[in-house]
Amino acid sequence: MRILSAILLLACVFAAAGETATVAAKRTVEYPWMSVARWDQMHDGIVKRGKDGKVDVVFLGDSITEGWGGAGRAVWEKNYTPLNAANFGIGGDMTQQVLWRITEGKELDGISPKAVVMMIGTNNFGIGGHKPDDVVKGIQVLIETIQKKLPNTKILLLGIFPRDPSPTAGVRKSITAVNEQIAKWENGKTLHYLDIGPKLLQPDGTLSKEIMPDFLHLSPKGYEIWAESIQPLLTELMK
């Protein structure tokens, strides 16, 4: 059974690897952890959330962002429900899926949030097989698209969180390469950058299961760190 699951996962990875980080692409790959039908359902739910009521803050991203509704639920309800926040995270998404969601998928239509908090790109490495420069370009297109659709909204762009327990892992180096590039886009006005990755790490640079049980997704403690880390800047952006 484990061998079959591994084969299915590899098939999914190879299928997704042909996608380009900068070209909007609806989810078409059936993952063991999420069907395309489920992805469609989640996207529809996000569109409905925008139509249902006031949205002052949007959290945009992949499964780590989606996790605000799981392991991070208590932290979300305490910190972000009072801010009229909306969770626009869907597991497994890469830059191109998020781009589709905010263009053809119209997830940002009809809302005028004060701030968008975005963290995206880790799946481009793990699933998409993209190089750091590809991921940077994908994030850049997303930023430009958000700015065009929401010209009065401030963007808080987060550095990609560290993954893999080892500080010398290849994916860590790729993440650092991306974060170093996107950090340069900070302008102190409409676009703000923040890398909270170091706060998720142990002093020796490793990740602990207390913060990331699978060395990718956050625990409740991890979401507490996330919320505490962005609170001062997000409060300023909400004014």
Domains of the chain by residue range = 2-237
What local confidence, expressed as pLDDT, does residue 53 receive?
Answer: 81
What distance lies between CA 119 and its chain's CA centroid?
4
| Catalytic, out of 52, 109, 133, 214 | 214
What's the pTM?
0.94
The CATH fold assigned to 2-237 is: Rossmann fold (3.40.50)
Q: For residue 62, indicate whether it is catalytic.
A: no
Give per-residue pLDDT as tens, 83-105.
999 999 999 999 999 999 999 99
Q: For residue 166, indicate whether it is catalytic.
A: no
What local confidence, expressed as pLDDT, does residue 16 receive?
Answer: 58
Q: For residue 5, indicate whether it is catalytic.
A: no
| Catalytic, out of 192, 217, 219, 229 | 217
Task: Report the pLDDT averaged over residues 165-184.
Answer: 97
